[in-house]
Amino acid sequence: MARHIEAWMDGIRLSEIGAIVIRDVSEQPPEMEIEYTGRPVLGGRTVHKRRRRALRVTIDAAIHELYDLKKRAAIHDAIAKWCSGSILELSNHPGRQLHVISGGVPGLGSVRDFNSILSIELEANAIPYWEEKMANTASGSGSSGSTTLWIPGTAKEVPVDVTVASGSGISSLTVTVTCGGITKSIALSGMSSVAGAITFNRDADDRLQILTGSTNLMPYRTAASSDDLVIPAGMATVSWSASASRSVTFSARGRWL
């Protein structure tokens, strides 16, 4: 028996833009990118890293207008506009969201067929995980310290954001996150007494950026630093050490496989 599932795009419910009735929602197995390293002695290859490249969701729906072709065409146009959004929510994934792009909407032939099912295809590739809508946070203050941060979910790669509040000038800073036997640490040194807030967060393509205001602090990252603050979901230990006392907040959104 088909489940009744509600869908929202950027907070707009699909059923409100033209009495769309959700018949089913399907998710394909995620497309993976696998890196290999060679085995020079025994031959063959060893998997070095697995990374999700894309997660695809298909929403099968019906236009609940059975008589007026013009109204059906208008609803179809509204669906196309709805699909151009970026944040998908489904009632069968409560409290979670997916960053998507549209894979296209049904053509006009489907609109003229009053019994047709519209298949709306959406793809998540920048962040190919169902992600918690609200981030969990952990805070502390001082020139150094540590605390715990709960990251719900099942994903093996969850980015952690850090905000160091403005205050006394900082010339060096180290932040470290540990969970599931994985430790990632980034150290900044050689800065000219930064008094503004320092943020470790993500750009539009889910890549790490380190900023104070609009100034890029990535060039001050030491060679021994990790590439990113990415750890598995779970109970994480987070810590910091700075050349001056500041308030520090770590945050992460849970992610699910």
Nearest to 58 by CA among 128, 119, 127, 130: 119
Query: Considering the chain, what is the average pLDDT of its residues?
Result: 85
Residue 137: its pLDDT value, please? Answer: 97
Residues 46 and 106 in one domain: yes
Domain encompassing residue 78: 7-131
Q: Note the pLDDT of residue 28.
A: 66
Q: Which of 25-29, 139-143, 248-252 has the lowest mean pLDDT?
A: 25-29
pLDDT value of residue 24: 61
Cα–Cα distance, 89 to 125 (Å, whole number):
16
Task: Assess if residue 190 is contained within a domain.
Answer: yes
Token pair for 41 = 């002695």
Residue 180 has pLDDT above 80, yes or no: yes
pLDDT band at 30 (very low <50, low <70, confident <90, very high): low
Same domain as 247, residue 191: yes
Among 24-28, 34-38, 137-141, 154-158, which range has the highest average pLDDT?
137-141
Please indicate whether residue 113 or residue 8 has the higher confidence score (pLDDT): 8
- More confidently predicted of 111 and 188: 188
Q: What is the pLDDT of residue 13?
A: 93
**Percent of the chain predicted with pLDDT > 70:** 87
Residues 48-87 pLDDT 10s: 445 677 888 888 888 878 788 888 888 888 888 999 999 9
Q: What is the pLDDT of residues 191-247, one digit of tens each?
A: 988 999 999 998 877 789 999 999 999 999 999 999 899 999 999 999 999 999 999
Average pLDDT over residues 150-158: 93
Question: What residue has token string 């100034």?
Answer: 215
pTM above 0.85, yes or no: no
The residue count of the chain comes to: 257
**How far is Cα 5 from Cα 92, in angstroms, rounded to an integer?**
7
* pLDDT beyond 90 at 22: no
Task: Mark whether 159 and 119 lie in a shared domain.
Answer: no
Phi and psi angles of residue 28, each rounded to the nearest 5 degrees, phi first: -75, 155
Instruction: List the CATH number of the domain containing 63.
Output: 2.40.30.200
Residue 1 lies in a domain: no
Give the residue-averaged pLDDT of 9-19: 88
* CA distance linking residue 227 with residue 65, whole number of Å: 53
For residues 141 and 226, membership in a common domain is answered with yes
Domain-embedded: residue 195: yes
pLDDT value, residue 37: 44
Please tell me the distance from the alpha carbon of residue 122 to that of residue 102, in angstroms, as a whole number: 5
Give me the half-sphere count of Cα atoms (radius 13 Å) on the Cβ side of residue 23.
Answer: 12
Residue 43 above 50 pLDDT?
no
Under DSSP, is residue 112 helix (H, G, I), strand (E, B) or coil? Answer: helix
138 & 187 share domain: yes
Token readout for 116 is 């047709």
- The domain total for the chain is 2
Q: Which of 7, 88, 100, 24 is nearest to 56 (CA)?
A: 100
Q: Looking at the domain assignment, is residue 177 inside a domain?
A: yes
89, pLDDT greater than 50: yes
Lowest mean pLDDT among 22-26, 32-36, 39-43, 137-141: 39-43
Same domain, residue pair 162 and 75 = no
Q: Tokens 């506009």: give the residue.
A: 81
For tokens 């047709």, the residue is 116
What pLDDT score was predicted for residue 219?
92
Residue 68 lies in a domain: yes
CATH of the domain at 193: 2.60.120.1300
Q: How far apart are CA 11 and CA 127, in angstroms?
A: 19
Q: Final residue of a domain: which of 131, 151, 181?
A: 131
Question: Cα separations (Å) of 119 from 11, 51, 57, 62, 85?
Answer: 20, 27, 10, 9, 16
44: left (phi over 0), alpha (psi -120 to 50) or beta: left
195 and 122 housed in the same domain? no
Q: Provide CB contacts within 8 A for 42, sequence distance 6+.
A: none
Tell me which of 131, 150, 171 is where a domain ends: 131
Q: Does residue 69 share a domain with residue 142?
A: no
3-state secondary structure of 205: coil
| Model pLDDT for residues 111-125, shown as the tens digit of each residue | 777 777 888 889 988
Residues 47 and 149 in one domain: no
194 in Cβ contact with 210 (< 8 Å): no
Residue at token pair 């750009």: 203
